[in-house]
A and B are shown apart, each in its own frame.
Chain A
């Protein structure tokens, strides 16, 4: 119990330390917008979208569900991480070494790879039966 209380105290102090830093050194107003906004977007846009896709995959034949869902998870993660590179908003004319690749093409190739691997997985499942 003593360790529990001590750890609560440590955790609480770190939270307060962080909040104090934000208030005194950062821009708390815009920070709050991004801090809470991230949760709202995640909880009420991203996850509901994922849930809808999950429900749609339930219409697939049972044998296909796991491979297709796995493919969607991997493809979704790659797309999410790639999105700021694909948009390439950070490119600047004075420095071509920033975002030097064609990220849209990269992403298309990766997604095609995911589809190919999933197709092989499904075919093998079928032939094994």
Chain B
């Protein structure tokens, strides 16, 4: 006879059942799927494989996908916790392992639960700029997402029939699951409502829990890396600063600030869309990158690299592919919101392009290299 340990009978809430778990599971499956896809978009925008060319339009594409990733991820936290509370009694099932197959199944559930919690915790801490973990966030968050999605696929295959069975029939047991599910949805909604304004500026005033507020920062725009953090406070202030266009060009060009300002200036409204999920638009004024490259004489399919005065760091330089440098919206900005760039926004000159992660909008430029 199988002996039930006394602990199982003590979970008195009837919400610990298949139907509650199924509905929460369906919602979680959707939100994890969205988080995985938007996460991949962000990853491969920053590290595109050779065959991949990201378009420069729509202007706000990355802003939307990354906003979904972060705000959707925050909204997933109550869902995940509710789902795991629902199935918590299963942790104490007896016997713990019935067979080799059952052991593998439980091992995979451990991977699923651990990966889901890991992504929530590291993601939340990362947007709060709290680097409590010794590993590099993006690498760990990226690779753990494959463990999560792999374990999730197996879990869905295993539970599919059960979910279909319980969701498709109307229960007649009088358990008020609806109130519980509404409450969980309300918790997710409350989290979203108090954070989404960091990327959707009409709701900025509601974003009382968001780590960023559009409109707060130098020239009313938030900053990710300050000049102090980048170590450029001296070099970026030098009066003899010049911008050089070099590499595979017909004419190597060098501009002083006065010469850059004498070129045709354009003003475009473009967002900084940060990987941490916040975004905010500014009115940027400067020279079109394509105008400079045409003056220097470059091939139409040239790869362009912009380089910062920063001494090191992974974002010291970034690649600008043809769709982006040919786009008339892509500027080497000198002004923001009607005033010369603040040092923290990349003065004397920064890149600003549509549909591009903020970390690749390289600041404190001094060289444009054509490859």
Q: How far, in angstroms, from A101 to B278 measured CA to CA in the complex?
A: 15
Neighbour of B157 across the interface among A7, A18, A54, A106, CB < 8 A = A7
Contact between A66 and B78, CB atoms less than 8 A apart:
no
Q: In angstroms, how far is the closest chain B Cβ from the Cβ of A118?
A: 11
CB distance from B82 to the nearest CB of A (A): 8
CB of A30 within 8 A of CB of B135, answer: yes
Q: Mark A17-47, 1 if CB is under 8 A from B, else 0.
A: 1110110011100110011101100110011
Most buried by A among B143, B144, B145, B226: B143
Q: Among A27, A73, A90, point to the contact of B211 (Cβ < 8 A).
A: A90
Cβ-neighbour of A77 out of B179, B188, B224 (below 8 A) = B188
Asked if A116 lies at the interface with its beta carbon under 8 angstroms from chain B, I say no
Assembly CA distance A7 to B150 (angstroms):
9
Are B144 and A22 within 8 A (Cβ)? yes
CB within 8 Å for A38 and B226 given contacts A14-B146, A30-B133, A50-B85: no
Instruction: Tell me if A4 counts as interface (CB < 8 A to partner B).
Output: yes
B215-230 near A? 1/0 per residue, CB < 8 Å: 0111000111111110
Distance in Å from the Cβ of A23 to the closest Cβ of chain B? Answer: 9
Give every chain B residue within 8 A of A88 (Cβ-Cβ): 128
> CA–CA, A95 to B110, complex, Å?
39
* Interface members, chain B 48-100 (any A CB < 8 Å): 74, 77-78, 81-82, 84-85, 88, 91
B336 to nearest A CB, angstroms? Answer: 13
Please encode chain B, from 112 to 139, with 1 for each CB lying within 8 Å of some chain A CB and 0 for all others: 0111011001101100111111111001
On whether the beta carbons of B143 and A21 are closer than 8 Å, the reply is: yes
**Structural contact, A22 and B85, CB atoms closer than 8 A:** no
Number of interface residues of A (CB under 8 A): 65
A46 to B77, CA, bound (A): 13
Number of B interface residues at 8 Å Cβ cutoff, please give it: 78
For residue A31, which residues in chain B have a CB less than 8 angstroms away from its CB?
A: 135, 140, 144
Interface pair B128/A15, CB less than 8 Å apart = no
Least CB separation from B115: chain A residue:
A35
Which residues on the B side are within 8 Å of A82 (C-beta)?
209
> Residue A110 at the B interface, CB < 8 A?
yes
- Tell me how far the C-beta of B80 lies from the nearest C-beta in chain A, rounded to whole angstroms: 10
Interface contact B211-A85, CB-CB below 8 Å: yes
Contact A77 B153 (CB under 8 A): no
A85 contact set on B, CB distance < 8 A: 128, 209-211
Question: CB-CB < 8 A to A8: which residues of B?
Answer: 154, 157
B213 located at the interface, meaning its Cβ lies under 8 Å from any Cβ of chain A in the complex: yes
Beta-carbon contact of B144 and A14 below 8 Å = no
| B111 and A15 contact, CB distance less than 8 A | yes
Q: Which chain B residues border A76 with CB–CB below 8 Å? A: 187
A59 to B333 alpha-carbon distance, docked (Å)? 64
Q: Which of B13, B146, B147 contacts A54 (CB 8 A)?
A: B13
The 10 closest A-B pairs by CB, nearest first: A90-B129, A14-B150, A18-B146, A21-B143, A84-B128, A97-B217, A18-B147, A11-B153, A106-B208, A38-B117
What are 26 A-B contacts defined by CB distance under 8 Å?
A7-B153, A7-B157, A8-B157, A11-B153, A11-B154, A12-B150, A17-B146, A18-B147, A18-B148, A21-B142, A21-B146, A26-B136, A30-B134, A47-B88, A77-B78, A81-B77, A84-B124, A84-B130, A89-B132, A94-B227, A95-B228, A97-B212, A97-B216, A106-B194, A106-B208, A110-B190
15 additional A-B pairs beyond A14-B153, A39-B114, beta carbons within 8 Å, are A15-B146, A17-B143, A18-B148, A19-B143, A21-B146, A22-B140, A30-B135, A73-B82, A74-B186, A77-B191, A80-B77, A85-B209, A94-B229, A103-B209, A109-B208
